[in-house]
């Protein structure tokens, strides 16, 4: 029997709507609709009943007509976790309540969150303008290899919005150590501690080193530390470490809730990555002779960014991440977005009287600076101009 193709198109659309109504989270299975497997099978079956074959062009038009777009899927959620969502929300709420009590007991400045985040050696915004119809959008990068090789940073942020110094950076090094020559030439800024690892990622041993050498000496006597439930660390990891008679309470953020209630995830690392992407774009745009994937330049850049983000100008921004996660009742007052303040707000030429093109406005001294004065000379001004 031959079916008219309008019937088939209608059926396809109803099918899609039903599927979306039934479970909006299934967008991912529809990402390539109707090219995805399920629909291909359906198309194949229907081919038996109709002599009509859906061409690529037809599918394209069909998608356009019914406003079906491919969307980037940020999170994959299985059926099982869907039923657990309520449970997770309850766990998250309980955790938040517990932390709120700690904040009222010991003060927001003593409640801290720390987490690790992987960075590529080279990162770009990936945003570029292109003419309609242009098939492939190519963006310049210094090395395609460095877009995949990574290092890790681990910052510490307090519930009152300040970043604790120093920042830990884990670099990927052969055999997990620095050679003697590398060690001797390593750039060692005050606000950064650099450790080597085989993978460029954290390990349980490195977590212990971080706790002993970075966290402990810099936290107050009574502190609460929020950590996620990553397998390389749990409350037992720190049990055997001498706390220097400090009273440190470690609270583990329930698994699966970090996207909701881990301040650095909620609003922190994204800001950081955006900042580095905008800066790296400028290096490529102006073709500066700065090799961004060199070890010392990675350290220098992270150190400078850490310094910029630590500016009092952004205290409300980091406070906001705690507010958004539910720990703070009061919404912080307006704050500048670092990318807007530092990159979109500059004077035309460098204010250090050198007449060079500026690349950045310092979030501390508020001066617009050229690449020479900001990056090459390592701008660590230590003055704040509101």
**Is 160 or 381 the residue whose CB approaches Zn ion more closely?**
381
Q: Which of 113/368 has CB closer to Zn ion?
A: 368
Which of 281/373 has CB closer to Zn ion? 373
Q: Is 28 left (phi over 0), alpha (psi -120 to 50) or beta?
A: alpha
Q: How many CB atoms lie within 10 A of CB 82?
A: 12
The nearer residue to Zn ion, 102 or 373, going by C-beta atoms, is 373
SS3 state of residue 370? strand
- The helices-and-strands tally (H runs, E runs) of the chain is 14, 9
Which residue lies nearer to Zn ion by CB, 44 or 378? 378
Q: Give min distance, CB of 287 to Zn ion, in A.
A: 17
Task: Quote the least distance from Cβ 357 to Zn ion, whole Å.
Answer: 9
User: Taking the complex as a whole, how short is the minimal distance between the CB of residue 345 and Zn ion, in angstroms?
Assistant: 14
| Least separation in angstroms between CB 289 and Zn ion | 16
Work out how close the CB of 320 gets to Zn ion at its nearest, in angstroms, rounded to a whole number. Answer: 23
Q: How far is the CB of 354 from Zn ion (least distance, A)?
A: 4
User: DSSP per residue over 261-289, as a string?
Assistant: H-HHHHTTHHHHHHHHHHHHHHHHHTT-S
Rounded to whole angstroms, how far apart are CA atoms 346 and 368?
6
Per the DSSP assignment, residues forming a β-bridge with 224 are 111, 249
Cα–Cα distance for residue pair 359/370, rounded to 1 Å: 5
Collapsing DSSP to helix, strand or coil, 250 comes out as strand
Integer angstrom CA distances of residue 286 from 12, 126, 140, 357: 51, 17, 11, 9
> At closest approach, how far in Å is the CB of 275 from Zn ion?
15
Identify which of residues 339 and 365 has a Cβ nearer to Zn ion in the complex: 365
What is the residue whose two structure tokens read 């659309």? 13
Q: Which residues bind Zn ion (CB under 5 A)?
A: 350, 352, 354, 356, 362, 364-365, 370, 373, 381
Residue 380 C-beta: closest distance to Zn ion, Å: 8
- With vertex at residue 38, the alpha carbon angle to CA 37 and CA 44, rounded to the nearest 5 degrees, is 85
Give the residue with the Cβ less far from Zn ion, 4 or 312: 312
Bridge partners of 197, per DSSP, are 172
Whether the CB-CB separation of 199 and 232 falls below 8 Å is answered with: no
- Closer to Zn ion by CB, 320 or 374: give it: 374
Distance separating the N- and C-terminal Cα atoms of the chain = 78
């Amino acid at each position: 029997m031959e079916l008219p193709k309008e019937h088939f198109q209608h059926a396809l659309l109803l099918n899609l709507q039903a599927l979306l109504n039934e479970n909006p989270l299934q967008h991912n299975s529809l990402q390539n609709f109707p090219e995805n497997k399920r629909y291909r099978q359906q198309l194949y079956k229907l081919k038996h009943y109709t002599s009509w074959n859906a061409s690529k062009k037809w599918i394209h038009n069909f998608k356009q007509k019914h406003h079906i777009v491919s969307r980037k899927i940020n999170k994959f959620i299985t059926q099982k976790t869907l039923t657990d969502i309520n449970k997770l929300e309850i766990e998250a709420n309980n955790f938040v309540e517990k932390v709120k009590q700690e904040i009222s007991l010991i003060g927001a400045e003593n409640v801290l969150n720390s987490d690790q985040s992987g960075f590529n050696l080279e990162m770009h915004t990936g945003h570029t303008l292109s003419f309609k119809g242009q098939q492939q959008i190519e963006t310049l990068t210094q090395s395609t290899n460095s877009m995949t090789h990574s290092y890790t940073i681990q910052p510490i942020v307090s519930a009152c919005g300040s970043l604790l110094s120093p920042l830990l950076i884990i670099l990927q090094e052969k055999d997990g150590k620095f050679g003697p020559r590398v060690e001797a030439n390593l750039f060692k800024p005050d606000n950064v501690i650099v450790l080597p690892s085989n993978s460029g990622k954290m390990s349980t041993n490195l977590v212990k080193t971080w706790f002993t050498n970075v966290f402990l000496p810099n936290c107050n006597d009574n502190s609460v530390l929020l950590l996620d439930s990553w397998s390389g660390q749990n409350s037992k990891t720190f049990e055997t470490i001498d706390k220097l008679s400090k009273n440190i309470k470690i609270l583990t953020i329930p698994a699966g809730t970090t996207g909701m209630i881990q301040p650095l995830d909620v609003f922190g690392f994204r800001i950081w990555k955006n900042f580095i992407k905008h800066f790296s774009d400028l290096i490529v745009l102006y073709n500066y002779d700065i090799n961004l994937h060199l070890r010392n330049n990675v350290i220098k850049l992270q150190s400078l960014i850490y310094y910029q983000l630590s500016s009092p100008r952004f205290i409300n921004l980091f406070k906001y991440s705690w507010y958004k996660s539910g720990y703070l009742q009061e919404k912080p007052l307006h704050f500048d977005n670092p990318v807007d303040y530092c990159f979109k707000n500059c004077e035309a030429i460098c204010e250090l009287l050198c007449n060079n093109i500026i690349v950045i406005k310092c979030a501390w001294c508020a001066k617009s600076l050229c690449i020479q004065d900001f990056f090459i000379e390592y701008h660590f001004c230590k003055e704040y101009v509101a």
